[in-house]
Amino acid sequence: MKQGFFKQVLQGNDKYFLSFAPGRIEFLGNHLDYNGGTVLGMAVNAGISCWGIPREDHSITLTSEGFKRVTLLGELDCIEKQSGHYGWANYPLGILQELKNRKLAPEKGFHLYFSSSLPIAVGLSSSAALELATALTLLQLAKKELPRHELVSLCRDAENKFVGMPCGILDQGTSAFGENNSLVKIDCAEESYETIDLPARTQAWIFDTGIKHDLVDSLYSVRHQECKDALASLNSQGASLSHLAFVSKKVLGDSSLDTNLYKRAAHVCDEQGRVTRFCRGLAAGTPPQSLGEILNESHQSSSGNFENSCPELNFLAEQLFAHEKVHGARLTGGGFGGAVMAWTQDQFNEGDARLVSDNFQNEFGQKSQYYRFSPSAGSRTERL
């Protein structure tokens, strides 16, 4: 949090509300959330802060330090979708609209100010952190509360309906339910949450390809539709599945899906199996180096069957697969650019990361930026 900016904003005003929501790493379960599967996420020790100051009229202002301090001016009773330099504001505006739909929004106007400690567009879901931090601050302004699971659903609905991103609940669920030294396990069909301990003396690193992506305009929506089409086709053949993640290898093998839909469904089926194996392995005390192989398999499936990787992601994953201090590595987030996550021994250090980045530069002409994160607590209200 860069507090200098906000000290100028507050100017001695102690009538403010503050919330924080962490970014997240998709640890395992690529594209399973909207397919009704079980996913593993890790809330990280970086995120977005949202400061709210009440007004006495019905005007609203949204200011982001991260977007060149662009300020959006609006009215509480006239919420309109934005574009261009103001596109980032659709996430908090979507939250405001959903709160209004549920009669939980503030009755008067407000100023909202945002600050982020997250790197942008590397698959850490800054959008979900922005949504959760906004929701918590607006609820404080309205003197309302929501249970965490309802907060997650509200934020997901805002992104689906207002922003237009057909995401599941992995991002918001992980950011809301994160705990120190733990993964968040989410049953996306039941929308239930639990935390499971990570082995000691391990850490997570993110390696950025430098390929930025706007998921609303990318192939993410195409993959989402392909999964829906695969489910519909399987059911038309007598499968009776409520979610694609429930498909068995036998049903899939006996089906007559076309090649493209078969590959998407095979990834979802196998990825669900990988999450199950990983959780069972954690419970049984399986060594991290063995569990890491499951992460490697996940990346290979994303690349080969789901086809949401790219040469840069594959190069980083292969470099990390081969590193003696790395348990496993895989692309994280929507794919089509973004970043690779490496789950490593605690001896993996800055020098090791720099070498991977240098090798990437030799191959692609630019360094891969890298970041180390720890599993952290989830979204929360705060007070300075």
User: What residues are annotated to the active site?
Assistant: 171
* DSSP structure string for 282-304: HHHT--HHHHHHHHHHHHHHIII
Instruction: Choose among 185, 170, 204, 156: nearest CA to 328.
Output: 204
CA distance 323 to 327: 8
CB 164 within 8 A of CB 82: no
Q: Among candidates 42, 220, 222, 63, which has minimal Cα distance to 130?
A: 63
Helix (H, G, I), strand (E, B) or coil at 256: coil
d(CA 121, CA 340) in angstroms, rounded, equals 12
| DSSP symbols for 40-93 | EEEEEEEEEEEEEEE-SSSEEEEEETTTTTEEEEEETTB-----GGGGGGHHHH
Alpha-carbon gap, residue 250 to 134, rounded angstroms: 45
| Beta strand 339-345 pairing with 380-382 | unpaired
Q: How far apart are CA 208 and CA 173, in angstroms?
A: 23
Residue 225 structure tokens: 């539709």
Count CB neighbours of 49 within 10 A.
22
How far is Cα 268 from Cα 266, in angstroms, rounded to an integer?
5
Q: Which of 366, 324, 326 is nearest to 343 (CA)?
A: 326
Q: Can you tell me the distance from the alpha carbon of 384 to that of 4, in angstroms, rounded to the nearest whole number?
A: 13
What sign has the CA pseudo-torsion 11, 12, 15, 19? positive
Give whole-number Cα distances, 166 to 88, 212, 325, in Å. Answer: 17, 19, 36
